[in-house]
Amino acid sequence: MIAYDRKSLDAQQTVEYAELWRKKGLFSEEKWQQIREQHPSGFYSPNVFVRIGLAVFCVVMLLAIVGLTGLILSPDSSESVALLGMLFGSACLFMLEVQLIRNKRHFGSGLDDVLLYAGTTAIISGLFLLFDIPDGLAAYIVVLPFLVAGSIRYLDRLMAAGAFVCTLLIVLHIAKDVPQVAVYVLPLTGMVFSLLLYRFARRGGVRVEWRYWHGVLAVVELLALLTFYASGNYWVVQQAGHYFFGMDAPPAGGLFWAFTFIVPAYCIFRGIRARDRLMLDVGIACMAAAVFTFRYYFNVLPLAWAAATGGAVLFLISWLSIRYLRKRPHSYAYEPEEKDTLLQRVQEEIFDKAIVGQAAPATTGKTSMEGGQFGGGGSGGDF
């Protein structure tokens, strides 16, 4: 099911956690080096800058191949173009499977990312052109299996996000055609769908046998929280009602206004109470969306005054919250999280290069595992 060797994935995770414990002082440097030698993954996972460079190089090469092939073969019909595109996509996936993953053992190198996306896009485009598939529900149904297969086999987070969005569009497309009550069913359908996917991702994220897909499930969990709030946000509901049904205001508008502000507040409270960083971040983002939604319909203050006032209020709330939480024993601290984000790893790379450039030309001995973050760090791990 997975294109990558599972023993190598386990070895890579072991080394990552050993490095984490070494940073916390639980392991000595000698013990960590011993673990690295005993658990070699053998993957080629360069840092983020090399990964971007290889991805750009691969895009240029593929465009050149497509251009030369078109000039040589000169397809003169839509059927020949479709077959040529499907052949090109199959060749990309074959190179990904055999040459890069099996022989060269690439894992989030940039080359495998581009080959996966280019191959999948070419095959889907060929199918659309060959069978003249119309936009809408039929198109979503055709695309969905490719996205699901890519996210499962290659642990790809971007394809997992695409599969989530595609499934949501299928569900909403069916719900909007329900006679008489579609305007009521559409928001409720989005909420129920998001809750089910969120529950699925939360349960799967703690299962050991699903550890290879933990990163993929984290993306699903994030998107489920965002789409749940969007399904009940007043602005989204009003705009959807106007677009699909020609309604100026949604029915039960007060209910959606309450949803717009209550859900972000609950997410923030739940995130603090359960020490759930994802829930807390989503709650803060949704609260900002709620404020912008309110100002879209009620222009109480000029934009500059509203921004200044909102910033001052947020600063005061943050300061009071920090003072309160620091008094809670064993609750919160300023220590870094166990897993670095992509932005943090980029900052570390830039800092390391700056230090090396100013000091002696000694190596840092640090290998970035970008793209190899366990659970979804495969090709296209972070995006």
Beta bridge partners of 156: 377
Does residue 191 form part of some domain?
A: no
Phi, psi of 381 (to 5 degrees): -60, -60
Count of structural domains within the chain:
1
Does residue 261 form part of some domain?
A: yes
Does residue 250 form part of some domain?
A: yes
Does residue 152 form part of some domain?
A: no
Contact criterion met (CB below 8 Å) for 65 and 89:
no
Q: Which two tokens stand for residue 102?
A: 């099996």
The span from the first CA to the last CA of the chain, in angstroms, equals 23
Beta bridge partners of 377: 156
Contact criterion met (CB below 8 Å) for 110 and 53:
yes
Does residue 332 form part of some domain?
A: yes
Does residue 273 form part of some domain?
A: yes
Q: What is the pLDDT of residue 59?
A: 95
Longest dimension (CA), the chain: 73
> What SS3 class is residue 377?
strand
Q: What is the pLDDT of residue 336?
A: 55
Contact criterion met (CB below 8 Å) for 301 and 309:
yes
Q: What is the pLDDT of residue 251?
A: 81
Across the chain, the runs of DSSP E, i.e. the strands, are: none
Contact criterion met (CB below 8 Å) for 11 and 36:
no
Distance separating alpha carbons of residues 218 and 197, to the nearest angstrom:
11
Q: What is the pLDDT of residue 366?
A: 37
Closest CA to 211 of 34, 42, 11: 11
What is the amino acid identity at position 359?
A
Q: What is the pLDDT of residue 89?
A: 94
Show the domain range for 282.
239-344
Q: Which residues contact 185 (CB under 8 A, 6 or more apart)?
A: 175, 176, 178
DSSP character for 28? Answer: -
Phi, psi of 382 (to 5 degrees): -110, 155
**Residues of the chain with confidence (pLDDT) below 50:** 341-344, 346-347, 351, 353-377, 379-383
Q: Which two tokens stand for residue 300?
A: 């109480």
Distance separating alpha carbons of residues 77 and 56, to the nearest angstrom:
30
Does residue 69 form part of some domain?
A: no
H or E, element range at 256: helix 253-274
DSSP character for 361? Answer: S
Q: What is the pLDDT of residue 334?
A: 57
CA distances for 349 relative to 20, 142, 151, angstroms? 17, 40, 27
Distance separating alpha carbons of residues 277 and 259, to the nearest angstrom:
22
Does residue 37 form part of some domain?
A: no
State the pTM of this model.
Answer: 0.81
Phi, psi of 156 (to 5 degrees): -95, 120
CA distances for 13 relative to 101, 294, 313, 339, angstroms? 18, 45, 42, 12
Q: What is the pLDDT of residue 329?
A: 58
